[in-house]
Amino acid sequence: MFTGLITDIGEVLAVDNGKLRIACGYELRETHIGASIACDGCCLTLTSIEAGSGDFTSIFSVDVSNETLSKTTLGAWMPGRRINLERALTPSSELGGHMVAGHVDGVASILSRDADGDSLRFGLEAGDALARFIAPKGSLALNGVSLTVNEVEGIRFGVNIIPHTLAATMWGELGCGDKVNLEVDLLARYVARMMDTGH
């Protein structure tokens, strides 16, 4: 599990047939193979760890399944791409965002980006299948960042990105036409499932 509070920005070093090599600022020497890191909101399992160099403390590798490629932006990742990273929760972690599983439901498209004081307001669009889970003032994770929904109109919705989040994540580099990984709120997903099945 994750909180949606980004703690590092990593860089994709290599992409090879479903295998990614990613550099990060985390010290991973004590981390076990099989541990999870959320990469732009996608929970991925570490398959190898090595020492980094320069601005990066460590380099880790992950395998990406066809299921993940079909639901996320990962299939378009190329070397040099910078991504939001978050390590998995530990029992003593502060839960400052919301409960994020790292299981991406699909992709949303950015339709607008407008200044709002020191913040940025983004307008996005999700498909019909995901829009039903998005509610005003509800939570969701976009590229792994825990955000509150401002408004919803059909399949379109808006979020506000404050200066701290712009500085600590890759949101400041995103704009119209970009696609982001969307994970709906866990509670919304289960409530909808119960309503669909009548239980």
Q: What are the mean pLDDT values of the chain's consecutive 10-residue runs (199 residues total)?
A: 94 95 96 95 96 95 94 96 93 69 94 96 95 92 95 96 95 97 85 70
Identify the structural domains of the chain with CATH numbers, from first to last.
Answer: 8-87 (2.40.30.20), 106-197 (2.40.30.20)
Helices of type H across the chain:
66-71, 128-131, 163-168, 186-197
pLDDT at 194: 74
pLDDT at 99: 79
The answer to whether 84 and 166 are in contact (CB under 8 A) is: no
What pLDDT was estimated at residue 94? 64
Q: What is the pLDDT of residue 192?
A: 72
In our burial notation (b when 16+ CB lie closer than 10 A, e otherwise), range 79-98 reads eebebbbbbeeeeeeeeebb
Assigned token pair, 23: 């550099």
Beta bridge partners of 49: 60
pTM for the full predicted model: 0.90
Confidence (pLDDT) at 91: 67
Two tokens, residue 198: 């009548």
pLDDT reported for residue 46: 96
